[in-house]
Amino acid sequence: MNKHILPKNALISVFYKDGLAPIVEQLNRLGVKIYSTGGTQIFIEELGVNVQRVEDLTSYPSILGGRVKTLHPKVFGGILSRRDLESDNNQLVKYDIPEFDIVIVDLYPFEETVKSNANEQSIIEKIDIGGISLIRAAAKNFKDVMVISSRSDYKEFYDIIKEKDGTEIEDRKRFAIKAFNISSHYDSTIFSYFDDGNTAFKFSMPNANILRYGENPHQKGIFYGDLEGFFEQLNGKALSYNNLLDLDAALHLISEFEDTTFAILKHNNACGIASRNNLKDAYKAALAGDPISAFGGILVCNVEIDEQTAQEINNLFCEIIIAPSYQKEALEILKSKKNRIILVQKESKLPNKQFRTILNGVLEQDKDLAIDLAEGMKTVTKEEPSTQHLTDLEFASKVCKNTKSNAIVLVKNKQLLASGVGQTSRVDALNQAIEKAKHFGFDLKGSVMASDAFFPFADCVKIAHQSGIKAVVQPGGSIKDNLSIDYCNENKIVMVMTGTRHFKH
């Protein structure tokens, strides 16, 4: 196997030309004969570098509106020939085929065209055929051919040929791996487009963001995906693994609310959330829910952050603030803490599928998109809910849905009073919530309770009643639902059922 290869011929045909000039000029200095097509050929000629037209090599012009340019044995034979195989070499001589040692080809911007909301025919025309074939052929023959398949790799390749005047097998194999990753993602993107988003699990992410570490410092962490598609970062340090988990939880929670709402999260759960007529009041009500846990938390809201709210926020140490926008004065205030991460949420659609690695495989499920609205709640007690009850029950159910199971959420006047999170017993979750609410001085009289799953016994509604809670929302579905309903009827408590369980593990 050849270790070092001095290149003789290079094929260059790219969509993006930026960053290409230094490579072309270095190849020219090394005496490499360059073959090219169309716009790339013109670009190279304008650099004052001699270039051979591919159509002169193949004796065929670009045809079918550019759909066929490089699909020819004289091109692919020169890429795929095995230099250490005598029969291959003999055929190259017989058919006058040049050996291509370097292939620089990128792909038509299919993904970008889809994002631009172009019509279907324009999108179809951006499905690359020749380019993807050239990349795969060159990557397959990495023993003899160096493939550069993305403009993001131009600088690294330039440094290699400038330092070594050629390529080493380790370089060629590394670039081949990159090329197969790009081709895999490209095909997955095309499949997803035609499948209307109903895609089964396909782990194909070209953007690997190396994180400071994983969940703990001794664990490595990488995020595969397009962070810039969801956020614009205006201030602060790089996002961590745990930051991203909290942000995911924060965005899913805040997306449930249309009223002006502010939430504070810690370890993927809301420690405070409230809806009010103005953002400052919503923030203060959210903070009151648990001012201790809010320290170092994730702050999220669904409207622009104004100067008055920013002044209140600035009194709190928090890791991240994310909002749709910021007033200029608000941003100046919030940026006064240099490590505080400030993000602008972009209008991006979250995927409808969820994946989790387990054992030696992957779990896939539909995302829980069910929202428990007041009009869909069924009253199962003699006592009817008031308008305020329904408003708070809907609020509580949305928060509960986004809280780790077993979950109990206590709400009053569209403010989270407390929650019991991730308990092995629903009774423990309720007791935890009640104790916490009382610790921060809340009066539970007239409040409501939400549970993410049914009550198999009447114990929870009894504890709730004894604490002053007047209305309960739960999915129902237990064979012993009547026990809880009977207790509520005997004690004039409202109970509504949604028919939808919201486990979150």
pLDDT for 68-102, tens place per residue?
Answer: 777 888 888 989 999 888 998 898 899 888 999 99
Cβ 468 vs Cβ 443: under 8 Å? yes
CA-to-CA distance for 163 and 245, rounded, in angstroms?
A: 42
> What's the pLDDT at 352?
84
> What's the pLDDT at 471?
97
Identify whether 4 is a catalytic site residue. no
**Between 197 and 8, the higher pLDDT residue:** 8
Opening angle at CA 43, ends 20 and 161, nearest 5: 30
Co-location of 305 and 403 in the same domain: no
Choice among 8, 17, 33, 140 that is catalytic: 140
> What's the pLDDT at 194?
78
Tokens standing for residue 1: 């196997």
Co-location of 291 and 433 in the same domain: no
The residue type of 12 is I
Residue 328 lies in a domain: yes
Choice among 202, 267, 284, 337 that is catalytic: 267
Identify whether 267 is a catalytic site residue. yes
Cβ 392 vs Cβ 448: under 8 Å? yes
> What's the pLDDT at 247?
95
**In sequence order, what are the residues at sequence separation of 6 or more whose Cβ sits closer than 8 angstroms to the Cβ of residue 168?**
3, 4
The mean of the pLDDT values for the chain is 91
**In sequence order, what are the residues at sequence separation of 6 or more whose Cβ sits closer than 8 angstroms to the Cβ of residue 8?**
32, 33, 98, 99, 101
Confidence band of 196 (pLDDT split at 50, 70, 90):
low
Co-location of 11 and 157 in the same domain: yes
Co-location of 8 and 133 in the same domain: yes
Place of tokens 């409207």: 303
Task: Quote the pTM value.
Answer: 0.69
Q: Which of 303, 326, 345 is the last residue of a domain?
A: 345
Opening angle at CA 132, ends 129 and 138, nearest 5: 135
- Domain of 420 in residue numbering reads as 374-497
Co-location of 61 and 155 in the same domain: yes
Element (H, E) at 356: strand 353-358
Confidence band of 46 (pLDDT split at 50, 70, 90):
very high
Cβ 117 vs Cβ 135: under 8 Å? no
**In sequence order, what are the residues at sequence separation of 6 or more whose Cβ sits closer than 8 angstroms to the Cβ of residue 267?**
246
The residue type of 105 is V
Residue 204 lies in a domain: no
Co-location of 164 and 248 in the same domain: no
Count: domains in the chain = 3
> What's the pLDDT at 200?
45
If one counts every other C-beta atom within 10 angstroms of the C-beta of residue 168, the result is 15
Residue 363 lies in a domain: no
Co-location of 25 and 75 in the same domain: yes
Residue 105 sits in a domain of what CATH number? 3.40.50.1380
> How far from 318 is each of 131, 150, 251, 411, CA to CA, in Å?
48, 39, 17, 24
